Amino acid sequence: MKNKLEIKIILSLCFVTIITAVAAVPLQSAHAFSWSHIDKSDGKASIAVSDNNVYVAWWGNKTGNYEVMFKASNDGGQTFGDKISLSNSTNGTSVEVDVAAFGNNVYVTYADNKTGDADAYIRTSNDNGKTFGPEFKLTNNTDSNLTSSSLSQGMKSYDNVKASPYELKVAAQGDNVYVIATGGDKNQTIYQPDVFIRVSNDGGKTFGKDINLSESKGIVSERTEIGALGDKVYVTWWDKGSDGTDTPLLRISDDRGQTFGDIMVLTTDATTANTANTPSS
């Protein structure tokens, strides 16, 4: 009897510990162009080069709060100017920074949860990184059909696949700026990560609506990359199915991100188009 009682007590304590740990995870809106929560791990220093200018951006918590920092070199990396805090978010956590450059313009994207949601932001410099304009918020988390329970379940299933349930990348070519991110469509009731893109054709002053490039229902779309040259935009990602399959995919735009061609599967002997999950763009 004593051994059974001890086992019951241990199991009860374990259950309470699990419940407490789950309850401690902050849930925030996770839909188009956004994420279920901010993960401060997996930090990196993104770099971009334009002519003789070198730009580096990263996130750190030297002040006790995670902020996005930036440094620029105008002599090919021989010397760098003063460090600049681009996020200045004392009431939020700023992470997942990326940087792109073209000509005199520099574009820095990052995620921040100061509004209560893990939103995506971009800041633009038109003078080789000496000064930056105000934040431009790329996300719109209003009127979402996603509920707290669906966010919780979505986060649990996605965390089993990827520790950091968000990605944010930026590319630039001429006056065109392309930002991609993983997130769940806010019109859905269950959080299932897809790959979204937003495009600016005026140097980051305005952006068009987000386009769902993957639309892979029941499949986790992640590990995104983007490249741009001339009028062409190239976006890759991986689709991870519940059966354990993991497939690299590609979509190409020939008109500066206004429309995209069919999804192409890269693992076949010959690159083939996959129209089954091709959204209208």
Structure tokens at 4: 């059974």
Q: If you average pLDDT over residues 136-141, what whole number do you get? A: 78
Residues 205, 217: contact at Cβ < 8 Å? no
Topology (CATH level 3) of domain 2-274:
Neuraminidase (2.120.10)
Residue 67: is its pLDDT beyond 50?
Answer: yes
Please report the sign of the dihedral spanned by the C-alpha atoms of residue 134, residue 136, residue 142, residue 144. Answer: negative
Q: Could you state, in order of their start, the residue ranges of all structural domains in the chain?
A: 2-274
Structure tokens at 39: 């993960």
- pLDDT per residue over 103-115, tens digit each? 999 999 998 878 7
Residue 101: is its pLDDT beyond 80?
Answer: yes
CA dihedral 112, 114, 116, 120 (to 10 degrees): -30
Determine the 3-state secondary structure of 6 from DSSP.
helix
- pLDDT per residue over 209-264, tens digit each? 888 899 887 788 888 999 999 999 999 999 988 888 899 999 999 999 999 999 99
| Confidence band for 273, pLDDT divided at 50, 70 and 90 | low
Top-confidence residue, 157 or 185: 185
